[in-house]
Every structure is written in C-alpha cells, then in structure tokens.
Structure 1
C-alpha cells in the first residue's frame, strides 16, 4: 500500500545544507512503484547539455532500467535539471538504487557541473497512475521546454524521449505512443 503523502518535497522543513530531504520508506520505491524524479545540478549549472551528453544519458538510463527492472515512459533534459518518470516492472525493482546508479554513472559526463545533494521525487498515488492522470504528469514533464521558452511545441525539443528496454522504436512523439506504451508495460510487468 502506498502512503498518502507521496512527495519528499511535500514534507520539507527548513534544513541545513548538510541535511537530506526526508524520504518515504524504502519499500515505497520498490516493486511496481511509479516515481517522477527531478535531478538538479548544483547552483543550477548549465553548459553540460549537448548531443553527446544526451547520448550518454540514454546509454546510462538504458542500463539503469535493465538492471533495476524499470521502464521510463518519458524524460526531459533541461539546461539546468532533468525530469524522468520511472515505473517498476518487477517486485525486485528498486528506484532508490536505480537513481543512485544513474547519478553515479553520469558524474563524469556532467563535469565540471555536479549534482545537488539529492534528487527530488514524487511517488505517484494510485489515482495518479490511472491512464488520464498519468498522461497529465507525463505531459507536464514533456512540456518543460515549452514553459521555459526553449521551443514552441515539445515534440520539437531534442532532449526528451523514453526508455523501454527492448523497444527502441517507442517515442513519445508518435501519435499512438501511449496506446503502445501501456500495451508494452502490461506485457513486461511481472506479478
């Protein structure tokens, strides 16, 4: 059962620079959890986002998804932060370990920029996992470059996509993407 308060950011209180954001119980991030992650760079550093970094991101993301039994229905890389949505496909999925893996393996590609101490997370409630509500969250992620004034429409942004291991042809820009995504997700999910 997923607790009511899902976002570590919702429970924030003033913290010192050495403290960590409060996290939900570890089991909340395991199994078939759906989590919206935001990874921010220290001092909102820019200058690291490039086609080469995007390629490295996709490679490390693919390894994280395969290793921790996850799929990423969408991600967006912004000039000073990143958003990704992960869904567990097995009872052995562990998103906290996966986000540590992802951050660790991207450190070199980000240099000289560095990560903020912690990634921000929002574990989706059951009601947010329903197709319509889920699509709203996914579109929020994909629309980030539009809200920032980087592009007029999100499909024109070069640094967004998805990662579903074994399905390289999937792309959120496709008209039938969500129908295909849910079909693949239901096929991949292990009880």
Structure 2
C-alpha cells in the first residue's frame, strides 16, 4: 500500500475544525507526498503543536503561510515525524497532517493503533480487499476505505474507541444508546387470582 495523494481531503476540507479530521498517516517508506493549496482559520493550538513537533525532531515538509486580512488563516502543513510528536499524539484542529514512515503493513497497523484517540481512520489502496483486511485490524470506531476520515451518514453508527468516546450514535444504534425499554401495563378490571 502507498500513501495517497488525496490526504488533504480529510485535513483541510473541514478547515481541520472537526473531530474526525486527518489523524497521523502511517506511510510506507517509499511513498511520496503531494500538496494542495487549501486554507483554514488560524488555530494557535495548531501552531503550538507544530512548533513542539519540530522541537521534538519532526520535519516540517510543507509549511503553509499565515494569510487573510488579520493573518488568522493557516495554510496546510505536512509534518514528517513519529507517533510521539505533538501533531501526532494530540488532536490537531487545523490543516495539519503528520506522516509517519512505516516498514510495511504490520508496522503501519501498529503505528495507527498506538494512540489514545481512535475516532476515525482511513485506508487507501488500489487493492480494496487488502485495504478492508487492514481496516479490520484498526482499533478505530470507524474506518473508511479509499475515502477521507470525515464521513458521517445518518443511518450508520458514529463513534470512537479509547479516548475518542464511548458508545455510538446514528441509525438504530442511537435508539439503543439513548433509550431504554420500559413496559407499562394498565389493568382496567380487578385481576382474578387462583389463590
């Protein structure tokens, strides 16, 4: 499997301001990255995480410039690091994606599961059956094959694992999650007992 050139579709499409934004991207060492020019409102938290990741040894491969009338728009950032850098270990609500080099499929799954957050994930591959097999090994609440991590349909279960939430909502899961069965009966006439 190779890194997709569509990784920006998850991170900046919601300006990075949504919970299932792009998580760290375990990528085979031979994969190449590409960029696009999309923009987001500036998040000082995102800048702090980028700075800490760089201090911890991450390489900033793409550094989007601040722009907009008040300089409060942050361009996309591509960080090459490990699961230990701030942009991978913490949720980043901005157009920031961290690529983590993996030595094959098993290592990519290990890296993807080595986090305290597991809301949503994505697997990209030309081999859909292989991607589905990898998806079954991920500890995420949702995994999308050849699609972004941002995907919410009203008829499906939405929810995460680990520190990304408890339970599911959406579809019949919401009915089960947010309701309880309660039997109420009314006896209109005196009941005759055999005693």
Q: TM-score of the superposition, structure 2-length normalised? A: 0.27
Question: Larger Cα Rg: Structure 1 or Structure 2?
Answer: 2
Q: TM-score of the superposition, structure 1-length normalised? A: 0.27
If asked which structure has higher relative contact order (CA below 8 Å, sep 6+), I would say 1
